[in-house]
Structure 1
Amino acid sequence: MKNIFKSSLLLACGVLMLTACSDDNDSNPTLLKPATFTLNTPAYSTAGIDLQTSQTVNFTWSQPDYGFPAATEYELQISKDGNYTVSVAQAAADETGETMPNYTNIANVYQNCNAAVPATEIANALMQFYKWSDGELPEEVTFYARASAVTKGTEKIYSNNVQVTVKPYYVELSDAPIVLWYMVGDCFVNDKNEGWKNESGGIGKGLTPLLPKVGAEFEKTTGLGTLEYTGYFPAGAQFKFVQVPGSWDTQMNYTNGDNLPDYITDEDNDNHNVGVSEEGYYTITMDTKNNKFTIAKYEGTVKTFAQIFMPGDHNDWDITAAINPMLQKGEVHQWFVTDFTLAKAAGVKFMDGTSSWDVNWGAADFPYGIGTQGGPNIPVKAGTYDVYFNDISGVYYFIEK
């Protein structure tokens, strides 16, 4: 009987040990280190989509087999011929102009297994590869794409190549346009006072852009740098950031915040909306190179304006037509106008519409700068622009179309 008892006790201990080991393995899974992963071939890959009429080119992939779902950062690369030996940035560093690139890095980092790449970014990359002259573009051209992935404790790995055929269009080669991000949330509303409206063409009606930080450097080949927005937020407001109007594929939320103060909160569980617990004026500063942002209270004096005007040489300094407010609950401090066209260069200013001109903003910088009270006329070149202006910071930005 004693031996039977001992055997039973040993068996029970063994079961407990196995259970403990099983539980330990479940809570501490082994990190696998795969050599590659799968970038899916897009359904449109042979359709020859028109880059000039498309807003984005979309890609999806499978998470690498790390042995468990792991927080992973992904990036995309576009290649001329399926090789990745000389980047656009490396070629640009060659002052002789003899080095030709065969790939470029898409200017974003993704946390999910999908990406909506702006069609303009791909069009610009193709121009960097081929250096076409206007009127000499082929009807269609093929490029290649691959994704990279990295998680904590592993080296970066790359996916397979996929081949995509598109219709290119001519792009005047210059520094890459500044990559903007847009706020969307319950405090940024459309003309029906509805929040969370992320729609294509919805800038100023549900979407509000952060503008270039004056004095910051922007990468010539990617357009990445530092953006800012200063404005009013009501208590309880929630919002996040998207890169492409109308798309939720590329976004930032509370988890991208850097040393956020206590009055900025993590809301809505898995969505991680940025919450504002205290009403007031705030400055948001975003580092688009590293997908990080900070928020701080704005301590300066703030005035509110019923209207903002943009008179200049183009209209004999007339102040009868106001520009558009970017709709927001509480107070409006950012304004815009679309398709502003000048047949020839002109000086312009922003002002509050009073005939006394006591409140006006101007500066000698273009296409963006900080307008100061009574500053010089802004020297705008001939062209068509979307124009943004913030009446707290004085920052303006003319985006050529």
Structure 2
Amino acid sequence: MKNKFLILTIICLGLFGLKSCTDDDNFRFQTPAEVEQLTITNSLLGEYLLSTQTFPNIAERFTWETPDFGVESNISYNLEYSVDGTFENPIVVGSTTETQLSINVEQLWNLATTELGLDNDPETFLVDDNGDPILDEAGNPIPNDSGEMFFRVVGDLGTNEADNSPSSISDVQILFVRLLSNDGGGEVALRNLFLVGDATAPGWDNNNNNPPIVRDPENQNVYTFTGKFLGDPAAFKLLEQRGAWQPQWGLSEGALASSEDLGSDPDVFNIPGGEGYYSITVDIDNATFDIQSFDESGSTTFATIGIIGSATTGDDSGWSADMDMTQSTFDPHLWYMTGLELFDGEAKFRADDDWAVNWGANTELTGFASQDGPNIPVAAGTYDVWFNDLTETYVFVRLEE
């Protein structure tokens, strides 16, 4: 009898243990009454220019703050895309447990072409339900190369994305993209680098007429600049877009690095000596950075420097008079013009409204000019134009309208 009772007791205990295990397996999150909304912190560009030549480049790095779920747990995040902004059938672009995620040009391009139906063929246009071209206010067909893309970030409590897991969803981010054709125009997607920091004229203001540095037209991943820097000590970084902190370039363990490579902001560049003139060289291919002192004591300080040529007017009348540039109050060897409308044509720089001292070169957008050099080719558009008389270098920064 005792044996039978013992066996029955063991069976009951086993059944109780099995029920307990089952209850553990069915554990469900206790959702907080209110979940904090996920907040995206990166700034978006006005327009994203997408080119097949720049597929590997980072188009945007989404960053956000960790939302408060009211409980301690891991959080998994999805970057989602919606073709119409409703997110009824979102496409997950990427997932992470960090608070940032990058999307490159190729990913944006593929979404824009396969989901949004855009293309970079200059001969195709938007059409209505009848297949007729849609016209703009001027009566011209609207190219089928640009549109709005909708993104959001969704954070889920835990890493398994259980059905009952609470979510925190960001506001919708709208990226306006334009696909560049392959028959010219791809040059506008080239990377520019701008100075920022307390060693430079704009200080740590990322949208204060920040000077660009010169991109080598023979090697588009090498940049140089010679000019005045503050020291004792003073620091600076390089930005790819004025008005935005990402992407930014600096140092990591002594090597050149970008925020896109690191997933965080790099360290600053430091001026090794006191206030003075220095030459810097940035080589993205080899991840190197070099800074050397520069003796400008024997250099001429000009009273005026201007831009002249058919590009200023659209015809040869532009060769008859200079458009004077503004001399930097921080560095008298640096000259600029902002928001300058130029036409298809050619241009040169010259000093004191006279041909005795003039500079030119045969490369668009950036270059190393020389006395009596060739005319600079210019494509129609609106530009910020910079000229450095110490190194006879120039940069045309095209502004997108």
Q: TM-score, normalised by structure 2?
A: 0.53
C-alpha separation between the residues in 2 aligned to 1:248 and 1:167?
17
1:76-155 residue pairs with structure 2 within 5 A?
Answer: 81-82=91-92, 127=112, 131-132=118-119, 135=142, 136=144, 140-142=148-150
Q: Indicate the SS of the match to 2:356.
A: coil
Distance 1:320 1:296, change over 3 A: same
Count of equivalent residues: 273
Match of 1:181 among 190, 193, 199: 193
Change (3 A) 1:288 1:44: same
C-alpha displacement of 1:339: 2.5
The code of the aligned residue for 1:233 comes to: F
Q: Distance in 1 between matches of 2:64 and 2:388?
A: 37
1:234-268 deviation per Cα after TM superposition (whole angstroms, max 9, x unaligned) = 55361311423334454444656459xxxxxxxxx
8 A contact 2:64–2:99 mirrored in 1:
yes
Following superposition, the deviation at residue 274 of structure 1 comes to 1.2
Q: Gaps spanning 5+ residues in structure 2: where?
A: 1-35, 49-58, 67-77, 83-90, 126-141, 155-168, 257-265
Structure 1 residue runs without a partner (length 5+): 1-39, 63-75, 85-111, 147-160, 190-194, 219-224, 260-269
Q: Given that residues 339 and 385 in structure 1 are in contact (C-alpha distance below 8 angstroms), is that contact kept between their aligned partners in structure 2? A: yes
1:208 and 2:211 are equivalent in the alignment: yes
Q: Distance in 2 between matches of 1:254 and 1:276?
A: 14
Pick one of 374, 381, 384 that aligns with 2:382.
384
1:196 lines up with 2:203 in the alignment: yes
Check if 1:285 corresponds to 2:281.
yes
Contact 2:229–2:271 under 8 Å retained in 1? no
1:323 aligns with: 325
Q: Percent identity at matched positions?
A: 23
Q: Structure 2 matches for 1:1-400, cutoff 5 A?
A: 43=39, 51-52=46-47, 58-60=62-64, 81-82=91-92, 127=112, 131-132=118-119, 135=142, 136=144, 140-142=148-150, 166=174, 168-174=176-182, 175=186, 177-189=189-201, 196-200=203-207, 202-203=208-209, 207-216=210-219, 218=220, 225-236=221-232, 238-243=234-239, 244-248=241-245, 250-253=247-250, 255=252, 257-258=254-255, 272=268, 274-288=270-284, 292-298=288-294, 302-313=299-310, 314=313, 316-319=318-321, 321-328=323-330, 331-343=331-343, 345-355=344-354, 357-400=355-398
Structure 2 counterpart of 1:275, one-letter code:
I
Residue 292 of structure 1 deviates from its aligned partner by: 4.4
Structure 2 counterpart of 1:376, one-letter code: P
The structure-2 alpha-carbon separation of the partners of 1:78 and 1:276, relative to structure 1 and needing over 3 Å to count, comes to: farther
Report the alpha carbon displacement of residue 323 of structure 1 after superposing the two structures with TM. 1.1
**Counterpart of 1:304 in structure 2: which amino acid?**
T
Measured at CA, do residues 114 and 77 of structure 1 come closer, stay the same or move farther in structure 2, by a change above 3 Å?
closer
Kindly state the Cα deviation for residue 212 of structure 1 after the two structures are TM-superposed: 0.3
Alpha-carbon contact 2:199-2:236 (below 8 Å) kept? no
1:255-309 per-position Cα deviation (integer Å, ceiling 9, x unaligned): 56459xxxxxxxxxx9756134145432111134576422123468633223320
Deviations 1:49-70 (A, max 9, x none): 89549x97742377xxxxxxxx
RMSD value, Cα: 4.7
Separation in structure 2 between the aligned mates of residue 257 and residue 213 of structure 1, nearest angstrom:
23
Q: Name the CA shift for 1:138/1:252 in 2 (closer, same or farther; >3 Å).
A: closer
Q: State the shift of 1:336 in Å.
A: 2.1
* Cα deviation 1:129-169 (Å, max 9, x = unaligned): 654355447864345889xxxxxxxxxxxxxx999652534
The structure richer in strand per residue is 2
SS in 2 for 1:245: coil
Give the Cα–Cα distance (whole angstroms) in 1 for the partners of residues 363 and 101 of structure 2.
35
Is the radius of gyration larger for structure 1 or structure 2?
2
CA contact (8 A) 1:309 1:321 kept: yes
